[in-house]
Structure 1
């Protein structure tokens, strides 16, 4: 059984030669089956409309795992040049690839794309917009919906909505009392201590004198 696993594992990896020789008809190629049919259709429609309206084409690719000696950046560059072998074919193209096993992504854009989407924004797409939902809970559908929306906005010439905001739900301040609250609690404690000390002194004395009073009346 172990021998079978060792042989089968490399076969499940994706190398550049396992990819189609030309870009597929759909803008989203999900070989890892992580995107729902509903969202796949929504993303494809959004990217098709972008292509028709602006001439900018986007291809999103999800693979199960890379070959052991391949990096996301190296694989993306090879696939980009395989699908779009000339500078003219590359000019208006954007290719974003995600490796499901490692949740690592890379992006490559053509020269004409860089005029509307800088390399810094493109990197933010791959390393922030796409990866934040994955880091927060392997939400692949949300990740690709977010990156598709941002790509369409930027490549349409609209303002960049930016990466998603990362909300820190850990409220460290809640575990510590403020200085004002500490001082108030200290004052309340002091009142209680003084009150108990007075009671401990007065009550026995009052009881003793009351006892003497009763004895004198007897």
Structure 2
């Protein structure tokens, strides 16, 4: 009877821990998704060009992007905001999220007219640009899409977020100052031998952490019933 009881308890515990592991995976995948109300307010006249909420930009990159935007503002009166977040909710289109943040920061057409906003979701590799009327007149939809989908996403998919930010801002600034469009990066496919690296990407690190948790739960599901069984045996 004791053995049957412990076996049933073991099954229940294993199912419970397996369910907990799945719930943990789902939670970690969605808990970091931001919504518009998570984005800080932007006071009128604020000249904070870069908000790195994803914490992926180096201080050197952030300074270079800020200086480029500041130079652009002095030359043209166009003002560009650069916002990084870790993840946008899977069910929300990137452009919709970007437009909502743009509306939050600039509530009227008059306040939007010389403004542009680049949103960069680093972990799900999504970008979008929202523009006011004056900026839109200088930046076609096709080029705006090329900046986000080609200039920025190519390095971003290799987790080179600093390069993505610098390349995107440099190309946008060139266009808005009337210079020729440098175009998207030229991609040359080169077959290289596989090499090992001592450094993990953020995605690999997150995956390893989740795997460790799951393994720990499964070990607990095995060890706890065994310990309980032997304890009961010793008490008999």
Residues 102 and 47 of structure 1, relative CA distance in 2, 3 Å threshold: same
Residues 166-203 of structure 1: CA distance to partner in whole angstroms, max 9, x if unpaired?
A: 111149xxxxxxxxxxxxxxxxxxxxxxxxxxxxxxxx
Shift of 1:9: 5.5
Residues 96-121 of structure 1: CA distance to partner in whole angstroms, max 9, x if unpaired?
A: 11111210111111111122111111
Tell me the TM-score normalized by structure 1: 0.72
Q: How many residues align?
A: 170
Residues 104 and 7 of structure 1, relative CA distance in 2, 3 Å threshold: closer
SS of match in other structure, 2:41:
coil
Shift of 1:81: 0.8
- Gap runs ≥5 in structure 1: 172-218
Greater length-normalized contact order (CA 8 Å, ≥ 6 residues apart) = 2
1:157 partnered with 2:178: yes
SS of match in other structure, 1:124:
helix
Note if contact 1:72-1:98 (Cα within 8 Å) is conserved in structure 2: no
1:17 partnered with 2:54: no
Q: Partner residue of 1:198?
A: none
Q: Partner residue of 1:35?
A: 57
Q: Partner residue of 1:49?
A: 71
* Higher radius of gyration, 1 or 2: 1
Shift of 1:141: 0.8
Alignment of structure 1 residues 1-218 onto 2, 5 Å: 2=21, 10-22=30-42, 25-135=47-157, 137-170=158-191
SS of match in other structure, 1:131:
helix
Residues 50-79 of structure 1: CA distance to partner in whole angstroms, max 9, x if unpaired?
A: 112111011111101112432211100100
SS of match in other structure, 2:189:
coil
Q: Is 63-72 or 126-135 further displaced after alignment? A: 63-72
Moved >6 Å (runs of 4+): none
Residues 4 and 170 of structure 1, relative CA distance in 2, 3 Å threshold: closer
Q: Partner residue of 1:188?
A: none
